[in-house]
């Protein structure tokens, strides 16, 4: 006779939860999973995937404009928001179905309802009187947008609602300049919306390399986005069909919509964690050890709810490591070094490894290689765009510590750069790699001059 209903019960069917449930079930464990909204979680339903589709949609306008220089005639350009957003919904529905089938095929019991923890081995499902018992519980409940506490905050939307807009606003104020704020600023601006970004700090994208932060802010301003730093919101009021955002310095901005992109908080409220003895951290995240185990031996947590590196591939890897540790008896800790990251702003950012500022703190001597140039296609399109690429090197070992890029395809290039960086590539090894010409990525292997002796700004005649 088995002691528990399940070997594993997972709360939250997002990136981390679905992966853990499937893998554990495929190993022959009896697995149940509860999801209170839609299977797939943030990434699939209201994060990475629909966001990237909107990013693609928002870039066509400028690309069609640029095509003129290459001989194309494009007349009567018109953008239809309902067409885009309905096509995005369709893809989200397809993925939601695919994730559901994955769980079904793996033999995982699915409960489309909110779950809470009653005690370390008992999970309560909101729609039933009888709780379920489990040997292990995995908390994979993700995070939700944190809304700023200002008068009129009820008028604010978050990224969640951006995916459900029936009409495109004429203008939008975005509060916050982290990666979600920057991405939505670029999406809306690309679709012709007048965008103002308000941020209380002194530069966008806190935590990224300073050259990227400065570069993207300058480029976004050049594209007509009104970025206002050191700016605090006092209140939001209704004004006609739109809103009036009053600023603490006395100014005000009127806009059709106001969005908050001021961070996210772990979903641990009223989950029963503390009563089960699970320790929570300063912002409510589940405190876990390197194997994702909480302060209670049989309760684990992965993904955003642990507030480590809040990215989909990280949640998936943490979930995989959890299954290997607990059900395969192969203790595995996630390695947080060299996680590549992108900001799908316009221009795009791709980055992996240490920023210059971090490396200066951690290493005795570092070398910087930096290059800023006009991409070849801009010579004909006439667009005023620049690419910035930067390498951070440990001067003592020649190891590449960080790669940072601003410009077209930066995310794709950063993903590829992450492989040699993770393997401990040296600058000399990059230099020994033959360039692929003509490409933007070739700059990665052709940067010869340390930043103290900057190379001349290069044009499309880079190979000359
Ligand atoms: C706008 C946006 C854009 C993003 N873009 C990127 C990107 O480009 N690249 C990237 O890597 N990451 C991106 N992210 C982050 C990424 O989506 C998250 O890091 C990832 O989804 C975390 O996975 P998770 O499994 O921890 O949580 P989630 O995917 O959030 O899943 C948690 C699930 O738990 C459910 N849940 C919560 N509480 C309960 C409960 N009590 N009972 C039952 N179910 C519950 C929720 O409904 C949710 O479905 C983005 C996030 C946002 C918001």
Q: What is the pLDDT of residues 405-462, one digit of tens each?
A: 999 999 999 999 999 999 999 999 999 999 999 999 999 999 988 987 544 444 444 4
**Cis amide linkage into residue 347, ω under 30° from 0:** yes
Ligand 1 pocket residue status of 34, Cβ below 6 Å: yes
Instruction: Please tell me if the CB atom of residue 16 comes closer than 6 angstroms to any atom of ligand 1.
Output: yes
Say how many C-beta atoms besides its own lie within 10 A of residue 2's C-beta.
9
Choose which residue among 137, 142, 315 to substitute to test ligand 1 binding: the one with the highest number of ligand atoms within 8 A of its C-beta.
142
- 184 near 169, Cβ under 8 Å? no
pTM for this predicted structure:
0.95
Give residue 94 CA to ligand 1 midpoint distance, Å: 18
Which neighbouring-strand residues pair with 367?
393
Determine if ligand 1 sits within 6 Å of the CB of residue 47. Answer: yes
Query: Residue 109 forms beta bridges with which residues?
Result: 32
Which atom of ligand 1 is closest in space to residue 41's alpha carbon? 49
Check residue 76 and give its pLDDT: 84
Q: How many whole angstroms separate alpha carbon 400 and alpha carbon 100? A: 41
CA quadruple 298, 134, 26, 295: dihedral, nearest 10: -20
Q: Assess contact for 57 and 168: CB atoms under 8 A.
A: no
Mutation choice for ligand 1 from 18, 36, 47, CB with most ligand atoms inside 8 A: 47
> 134, 123 in Cβ contact below 8 A?
yes
pLDDT at 463: 41
Distance CA 67, CA 377 (A): 10
The C-alpha angle with vertex 278 and arms to 275 and 279, in degrees rounded to 5, equals 115
Q: Indicate which residue's Cα is closest to atom 12 of ligand 1.
A: 311
How far CA 446 is from CA of 48, 224, 365, 442, in Å, comes to: 32, 33, 22, 6
Sheet-wide strand order for 349-353: 341-343, 349-353, 400-406, 387-394, 366-373
Give the list of residues 6+ apart from residue 345 with CB closer than 8 angstroms, or none: 179, 182, 183, 185, 186, 216, 220
Which residues sit opposite 350 in a β-bridge? 342, 405
436 Cβ contact partners less than 8 Å away, ≥ 6 residues apart: 442
Number of helical H runs and strand E runs in the chain: 12, 21
Whether residue 182 has its Cβ less than 6 Å from ligand 1: no
Among the listed residues 86, 94, 83, the one whose alpha carbon sits nearest the alpha carbon of residue 60 = 83
Q: What does 362-411 look like in DSSP terms, one character per residue?
A: H-S-EEEEEEEE--HHHHHH-----EEEEEEEETTT-BEEEEEEESTTHH
- State the distance from the centre of ligand 1 to the C-alpha of 211, rounded, in angstroms: 29
Q: Is the dihedral of CA 423, 426, 428, 434 positive or negative?
A: positive
Alpha helices in 245-395 (DSSP H): 312-327, 356-362, 376-381
Give the pLDDT score at 2.
64
CA of 52 to the centre of ligand 1 (A): 15
Any idea which residue has 């949609």 for tokens?
A: 57
pLDDT at residue 13 in the model: 98
What distance in Å separates the CA atoms of residue 181 and residue 178, rounded to the nearest whole number?
Answer: 5
pLDDT for residue 74? 84
Using the 8-state DSSP alphabet, how is residue 301 labeled?
E
Residue matched to tokens 């050191």? 230
In the reported structure, the alpha carbon of residue 300 is separated from the centroid of ligand 1 by a whole-number distance in angstroms of 17
In sequence order, the 6+-apart residues with CB closer than 8 A to the CB of 380 are: 69, 70
Distance between CA atoms of residues 449 and 454, nearest Å? 6
Give me the pLDDT at residue 12, please. 98
Spatial distance between the Cα atoms of 106 and 26, rounded to a whole number of angstroms: 6
437 tagged catalytic:
yes
SS3 state of residue 111: strand
> What backbone phi and psi angles, to 5 degrees, belong to 449?
-110, 130
The response to whether residue 11 sits with its C-beta less than 6 Å from ligand 1 reads: yes
Protein residue whose Cα sits closest to atom 3 of ligand 1 = 47
The phi, psi pair for 185, rounded to 5°, reads -60, -45
Q: How many Cβ atoms from other residues are within 10 Å of residue 102's Cβ?
A: 16
C-alpha dist (Å) from residue 450 to 97, 367, 434: 51, 7, 19
Question: Is ligand 1 within 6 A of the CB of residue 7?
Answer: no
pLDDT < 50 regions, the chain: 1, 454-464
Q: Is 415 in the pocket of ligand 1 (CB under 6 A)?
A: no
* Both tokens assigned to 117: 């923890």
Under a CB-based contact definition with an 8 Å cutoff, are residues 441 and 387 in contact? Answer: no
Ligand 1 center–CA 201 separation, angstroms: 26
Residue nearest to atom 19 of ligand 1 (CA): 311
Q: How many CB atoms lie within 10 A of CB 289?
A: 10
Q: Which atom of ligand 1 is nearest to the CA of 43?
A: 17
Give 266 Cα–ligand 1 centroid separation in angstroms. 10
Q: What is the pLDDT of residue 464?
A: 39
SS3 41: helix
Backbone phi and psi for residue 338, each to the nearest 5 degrees, phi listed first: 55, 50
Give the position, in ligand 1's atom list, of the atom nearest the Cα of 45: 49
Q: Is the CB of 15 under 6 A from ligand 1?
A: yes
């Amino acid at each position: 006779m088995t002691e528990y209903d399940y070997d594993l019960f997972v709360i939250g069917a997002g990136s981390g939860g679905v992966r853990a449930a499937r893998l554990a079930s495929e190993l022959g464990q009896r697995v149940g999973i509860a999801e209170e909204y839609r299977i797939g979680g943030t990434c699939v339903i209201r994060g990475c995937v629909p966001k990237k589709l909107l990013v693609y949609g928002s870039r066509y306008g400028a690309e069609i404009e640029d095509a003129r220089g290459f001989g194309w005639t494009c007349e009567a350009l018109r953008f239809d928001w309902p067409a885009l957003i309905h096509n995005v919904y369709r893809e989200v529905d397809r993925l939601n179905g695919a994730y559901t089938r994955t769980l079904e095929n793996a033999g995982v019991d699915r409960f489309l309802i909110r779950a809470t923890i009653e005690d370390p081995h008992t999970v309560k499902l909101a729609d039933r009187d009888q709780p379920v018992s489990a040997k292990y519980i995995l908390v994979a409940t993700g995070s939700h947008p944190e809304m700023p506490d200002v008068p009129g905050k009820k008028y604010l939307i978050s990224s969640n609602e951006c995916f459900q807009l029936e009409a495109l606003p004429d203008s939008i104020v975005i509060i916050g300049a982290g990666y979600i704020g920057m991405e939505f600023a670029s999406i809306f601006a690309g679709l012709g919306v007048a965008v103002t970004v308000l941020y209380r700090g002194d530069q966008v994208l806190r935590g990224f390399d300073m050259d990227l932060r400065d570069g993207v802010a300058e480029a976004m301003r050049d594209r007509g986005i009104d970025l206002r730093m050191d700016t605090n919101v006092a209140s939001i009021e209704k004004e006609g069909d739109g809103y009036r955002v009053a600023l603490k310095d006395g100014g005000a901005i009127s806009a059709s919509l106001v969005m908050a992109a001021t961070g996210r908080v772990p979903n641990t409220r009223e989950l029963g964690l503390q009563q089960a003895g699970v320790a929570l951290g300063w912002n409510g995240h589940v405190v876990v050890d390197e194997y994702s185990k909480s302060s209670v031996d049989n309760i684990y947590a992965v993904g955003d709810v642990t507030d480590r590196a809040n990215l989909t591939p990280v949640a998936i890897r943490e979930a995989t490591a959890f299954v290997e540790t607990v059900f395969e008896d192969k203790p595995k800790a996630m390695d947080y070094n060299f996680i590549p990251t992108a900001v799908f702003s316009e221009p795009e950012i791709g980055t992996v490894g240490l920023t210059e500022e971090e490396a200066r703190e951690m290493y005795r001597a570092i070398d910087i290689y930096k290059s800023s140039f006009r991409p070849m296609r801009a010579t004909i399109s006439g667009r005023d765009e620049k690419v910035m690429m930067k390498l951070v090197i440990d001067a003592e070992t020649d190891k590449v510590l960080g790669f940072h890029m601003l410009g077209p395809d930066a995310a794709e290039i950063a993903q590829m750069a992450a492989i040699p960086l993770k393997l401990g590539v040296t600058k000399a090894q990059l230099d020994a790699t033959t360039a692929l010409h003509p490409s933007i990525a070739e700059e990665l292997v052709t940067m010869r001059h340390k930043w103290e002796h900057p190379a001349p700004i290069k044009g499309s005649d880079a190979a000359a």
